[in-house]
Amino acid sequence: MNERAQVFVDQFGTGGGSGGPGKDPHWQFNEGPVWKLAWQGKIELWKAFWVYFLMGHGLVIGIGCGVMIFSLLAGFAIDPSSTAAGATGLAIGVTVVTCVFLVYAVWSTVGVWQCADNCTVKIRGTYARVLMVGYGTALALPAINYFIS
């Protein structure tokens, strides 16, 4: 480094030159698949929370209800005279939907947790993390109850 090089001292905490969302005008998120970017915390918090967490859960639950109804009807289509066939089809559908939901729930929860620092108002990141702890606890309680009792 020569004696004429400029050095930026962030005396007032404006964030110029330090990089990151909302601090550097030339900072950009990496491009790639959204599942990977969210897992690594490289998207905005509002998008991780509102789009991928809330709206994504609604979409997964809505499609899951459709899959369960379809599996119930498929079970009755295989053997129309047996209610056990319908119950078996429904059990298969519930198992598939539960596995897909749990994978999505873990991905979206980790995504929101990792992206909590990517917002201009830092208290929102703290709120998001507190909400994710509560959501993770709510997901874990039925499993804990099942294995304990």
Tell whether 88 is covered by a domain.
yes
**Tokens 């964030």 found at:** 15
- When pLDDT is cut at 50, 70 and 90, the band that residue 20 belongs to is low
Tell whether 48 is covered by a domain.
yes
Tell whether 104 is covered by a domain.
yes
pLDDT at 10: 59
**Tokens 């598939």 found at:** 96
pLDDT at 18: 47
Interatomic CA distance for residues 79 and 28, integer angstroms: 57
pLDDT at 54: 97
Which domain covers residue 118, as residue numbers? 42-148
Tell whether 132 is covered by a domain.
yes
Tell whether 142 is covered by a domain.
yes
- Taking each helix axis from N to C end, the angle separating 83-114 and 56-78, rounded to the nearest 10 degrees, works out to 160
Tell whether 19 is covered by a domain.
no
The pLDDT tens digits for 64-75 are: 999 999 999 999
- When pLDDT is cut at 50, 70 and 90, the band that residue 98 belongs to is very high
Residue among 85, 77, 79, 132 at smallest CA distance from 109: 132
DSSP state of 114: H
Kindly calculate the radius of gyration of the chain based on its CA atoms and give it in whole angstroms: 23
Tell whether 33 is covered by a domain.
no
Tell me how far CA of residue 114 lies from CA of 39, 43, 110, in angstroms.
7, 9, 6
Comparing 2-6, 36-40, 109-113, the range with the smallest average pLDDT is 2-6
| Three-state DSSP state, 6 | coil
pTM of the model: 0.76
Interatomic CA distance for residues 142 and 78, integer angstroms: 33
- When pLDDT is cut at 50, 70 and 90, the band that residue 53 belongs to is very high
pLDDT at 9: 65
**Number of domains comprising the chain:** 1
As a whole number, mean pLDDT of residues 102-107 equals 96
Tell whether 124 is covered by a domain.
yes
- When pLDDT is cut at 50, 70 and 90, the band that residue 88 belongs to is very high
Of residues 135 and 15, more confidently modeled? 135
